[in-house]
Structures are given as structure tokens and as C-alpha cells.
Structure 1
Amino acid sequence: MAIPLTKRKKPDKAGELGELYVRMPHVDCQIDEVTKIELDELKKRLDVFDRKELAYLASETLVHLIRKARRQNDRPVLDAAVKSLFRRCEANLLRTVDNSLPNADKIREDALAELGKRLARDGTGKVPDRLDLFEWRFNMQFRSLRIDAIRRETTAVNRNASLPTDVTAVDVADLEAAFEKVASCQTTADANGIYAPSPEDQMIARDIYRQLNALPKDERNALIQTKIIGLTEEEAGSKLGVSSRTIRTRKKNAIARLKSPKEST
């Protein structure tokens, strides 16, 4: 059984409890599945690195396995899961940290080292549930570690050097979560006013803001009206002067564009 997350988002109003972070449904299903299998079978699953394979385990699932194995002092599972996760992260860093950056190898090492520290400190310190965020959206959190490592090294080499633009798109599941979160926030029809209150939501919203503005206008407006403002396809079509079928097609095309450069670990 998957252990519930305990970290909460920043509340919208003072005096209220924020919403709990919740894993993606398929991650909970994977956790329930793999915690019942034998170690040899688990190791086979951990060696699957193709996301298209049915046996592939999400990185969020691996983080849960690592945390649970540490609590239970299950060294074989811990070692296998850590090895698999770090292999994925190393491959990610080879793709995303360009060799033209100053001390690229050190940037990759620092990002991995910071992840290792987070895993080792799980359950301790002032924020004992910080790793809940990695079970919620691993790619997003690891990207943050990577960007921090780039910023530190770039600053150390040349304080006037600019930070490279991160062109990674968010995963479609992250898009859905972001749309749900910003649905009640202030927006404008051309996506110039997206605002999200918590640091995590701001990070998602910045990605969506940048990517929405890169979409063709018709697709962007269809996506904003249905996914952010919350209109039905019929209502959006009436507002924009087209059919609901056209709205559906434009929305589908927009999401496909947003998914295409998606980063993965």
C-alpha cells in the first residue's frame, strides 16, 4: 500500500490548511503493484528504461521505494532502486547540461550530489517531508536541482554570465495539474496574467505561460478557455465564434505541441 504524502501546498487564505500534495494515480497503482513482487522481479522492472514499456516504473515510484526501503532498513531494495534512479538522472543530465556550459561535468556531479543529500536526509531536519515533492512530480523537482547547479557554477566562473534558457516542457500530467491549480487564479484571454500562489505552482505557471505564448493564437485561446477558464467546449466555441468540434481539435493540437519536447528521467 502506498504511504500517503503529508506535505501540503501553501494555503490560499491565511489560517487555512493547504491541500495535500497527491501523487498521480498511475504512480499509486505502480507502488501497490511493485511492493508485492519479489526482489528479482523488482530488479528486472528497475532495469527497464524505455517509458513506452509496460514494465517501466515512474521515477516517482522509485523515490517511494527508496524512502520505504530506508524506513524498513531493506538494503537490497534500497541499493537497487537508488542505482536505477541515478542511472536515469545521469542520462537526463547528459541530455540537458550542454558541454558548452562552464564545468559541465561538475554541474552534473553537483546535481546528483544534491539529490543524494535529499534522499539521505529524508525524514530529518526542519522539512522532514521535503521528498514528498519528488514523489509528486520528480522531473520538475530534479530540473530545479539542475538549474540551481548551473546557476551556482555559472556564477562562480563568471558573475556576469547569463543563465541558459531552460526549454524543457512540462509533462502532460504536470500540465493537467497546473491547469487545475490556476483555473481559479487571475488570467487574461491572451495568457498574459497567469498567477499561482505557491513556489511550486509558480514554477508550473511560468512554464505554461512561456509555452502558451508560443502556440498558434487559435490553439492557445481554445486551451485557455477550456483548461484554465473552465468553459465547456460548446461555451468556448460560442465565445470564440467556432464549433465545439473545432475547439476540441484545437485543444488537442495544443496539448500535443506542449507535450512534444517533454523531459523525462
Structure 2
Amino acid sequence: MIIPLTKRRKDGTPYLRPDNIEALLQALADLPRDELLERAAIRDRKDPLYVPTECLLYFVRASRRDNSDAWFEKLYRIFLERVLRALPRAEASGNTASLLKEKIRNAVSDRFVELLAKDRNEPDERLDFFEVRFDLAIKRLRLDAQGRAWREEERSDPLDADTDVSEGEAGAAGAEYPFEANIISDPRFRDRVYLAIDNLPPEQSRTMHLLMLGWPIHSNDPTVMTIAKALGCSDRSVRNYRERALNTLVALFNPGDDQ
């Protein structure tokens, strides 16, 4: 049985998905999971086996009922890749326009991860529209993020486009993350966190992996390889990647959740 949308009309009846999406969900739900994953990985919308993103999001949300983190993470990885492909990609030039694109991209992906994390704990009707009209819904998120980025740019010096996080603030924030002890003590939980890190946006994922290898963010010694040098960005950007990654991981994992 396909789970209805969460959002309700004034008369108490649920909003409905388009008929073609509802019919396709019924057919996809009968597929073996491996086959569903293979079809979900198809990028070409003209391919007859292509799975619309509305349908993919349905299965991401429905995995909440399965109590299977492994199944959720496989679907989530494919879904997040689609979200990122729908967003503007920053060039490597590091100019103001590129920094704005990076801000927009990060803001939308972070917002989506936040919504999915909340929905995984309890159905969140804010995601229903994405199951009905994904392209339009993601466009609205992107335009909202774009408007905020432009307003922030007008209020600040372009050289300070990246919001800095001081070492003291970062250290204080890092000390509060509830999964740190579990990563050390529970191999199963550690594997899940590492997989979640792999699924982060590329800059955040690389930052976290290098941090776990003991690489410094900054060094006064020019011969020392730092994360900032490896990623070709500023120290402030690396700290922001770290904070966004940690906030995402906290949203995805509940304290004490070792299932």
C-alpha cells in the first residue's frame, strides 16, 4: 500500500499526488530493492526506466517504516546527488559570483538534509510538495536561498562572503556532538557515520575525512599540507564545511541511536 501524503485539506482529506506518479509508485513498490536502486541511479529522464525524483523521495521517506538505516542510506545517497545536480555549481575561480553560487548550493542542500532528518523522525508535511512537483519545489528553495545570499552580499564586504567560525566557537560546538563517543566505542555506529560522511556534499565529505586523518586546517609552516591547501580554499571555508557537516550528522543521528 502506498502511504498517502501527510498534508491535509480543510475537510481532513489528504492532498493527492499526480495520477501518473501514484500509478508508478504502485509498480515500483513491487520491484526487488536492488532493481529499484538500479533504476533510481538512471540520470537520463528520457530513459523509459527512469524513476522520477518525486517517486525516489517517496521511497526515501517511506524507508522510515522499514527501520533499516542501510536501505535509507542507499536511497538517500542517490536522492542527494539529484538535489545537488539541480543546484548551481560554483566555479573554482573563487570570485564573488562563484562564492554566491556556493552559498546558494550549500544553503539548499543543508535545508533539504534538515527537512529529511526531521521527516525521518516524524512525517513532515513540508516535504509533500516535493513529492508532487519536485522541480518547482527545489526551484523555490533555490530562489529563497539566492535572495538571502544577495541580501547578505549587499550588507557585507565581498571579501568576507564566507561567514567565519572562530576556533573557539568551533571547539565549543564540536564538544556538544552526541555521536563522538559512539564512533569510538561502537563499530556499527562508526560504520554508519562514515557512510553518512561519504554521502555529504563533496567539500564537506573531504573535509571530514581529512580531519579524521589528522590533517590541520591551517599551519604557519608553509611546508605542512593543510586541508585548506588540499581543497584549494580558505581556512574559513574549511571551518564552514566542517560546521555544516557536523550539523548535518547531528540531524541524521539521534543520541544513543545504534540500530
For normalisation by structure 2, the TM-score amounts to 0.52
Of the candidates 115, 140, 144, which is equivalent to residue 144 of structure 1? Answer: 140
Amino acid in structure 2 at the alignment position of 1:90: L
Structure 1 residues without counterparts, runs of 5 or longer: 10-15, 161-265
Shift in Å, 1:48: 0.5
Which of the two has greater helix per residue? 2
Of the candidates 156, 159, 162, which is equivalent to residue 152 of structure 2? Answer: 156
Structure 2 residues without counterparts, runs of 5 or longer: 157-259
Shift in Å, 1:95: 6.8
- Pairwise mapping of residues 175-190 of structure 1 onto structure 2 (< 5 A)? none
Amino acid in structure 2 at the alignment position of 1:6: T
Of the candidates 18, 35, 49, which is equivalent to residue 43 of structure 2? Answer: 49
How far apart, CA to CA, are the structure 2 residues paired with 1:20 and 1:68? 16
Instruction: Please give the per-residue CA displacement for 1:160-189, whole angstroms capped at 9, x wherever unaligned.
Output: 9xxxxxxxxxxxxxxxxxxxxxxxxxxxxx
Amino acid in structure 2 at the alignment position of 1:2: I
Of the candidates 46, 52, 63, which is equivalent to residue 57 of structure 2? Answer: 63
Shift in Å, 1:119: 0.8
CA distance 1:119–1:100, change in 2 (3 Å): same
Q: Secondary structure at the match of 2:49?
A: coil
| Match status 1:133 vs 2:129 | yes
The answer to whether the 8 A contact 1:46-1:56 is kept is: yes
Q: Which moved more, 1:50-59 or 1:151-160?
A: 151-160
How far apart, CA to CA, are the structure 1 residues paired with 2:66 and 2:7? 21
Shift in Å, 1:132: 1.5
CA distance 1:77–1:31, change in 2 (3 Å): farther
How far apart, CA to CA, are the structure 2 residues paired with 1:20 and 1:51? 28
The answer to whether the 8 A contact 1:107-1:146 is kept is: yes
State the identity %.
Answer: 30
Instruction: Please give the per-residue CA displacement for 1:95-145, whole angstroms capped at 9, x wherever unaligned.
Output: 799x836521121011011011111111768x8322212112111211111
Q: Secondary structure at the match of 1:70?
A: helix
How far apart, CA to CA, are the structure 1 residues paired with 2:102 and 2:62? 31
Shift in Å, 1:17: 2.6
- Pairwise mapping of residues 249-260 of structure 1 onto structure 2 (< 5 A)? none
Amino acid in structure 1 at the alignment position of 2:48: L
- Pairwise mapping of residues 225-244 of structure 1 onto structure 2 (< 5 A)? none
The answer to whether the 8 A contact 2:90-2:99 is kept is: no
Instruction: Please give the per-residue CA displacement for 1:72-91, whole angstroms capped at 9, x wherever unaligned.
Output: 22223312221122111211
Report the aligned-residue RMSD: 2.7
How far apart, CA to CA, are the structure 2 residues paired with 1:18 and 1:101? 46
- Pairwise mapping of residues 1-265 of structure 1 onto structure 2 (< 5 A)? 1-9=1-9, 17=11, 20-94=14-88, 100=97, 102-122=99-119, 128-159=124-155
The answer to whether the 8 A contact 2:2-2:26 is kept is: yes
Shift in Å, 1:30: 2.0
CA distance 1:130–1:124, change in 2 (3 Å): farther
Amino acid in structure 1 at the alignment position of 2:68: D
Q: Which moved more, 1:35-44 or 1:51-60?
A: 35-44
Displaced runs of 4 or more, over 6 A: none
The answer to whether the 8 A contact 2:56-2:75 is kept is: yes
How far apart, CA to CA, are the structure 2 residues paired with 1:96 and 1:150? 13
Q: Secondary structure at the match of 2:61?
A: helix
For normalisation by structure 1, the TM-score amounts to 0.51
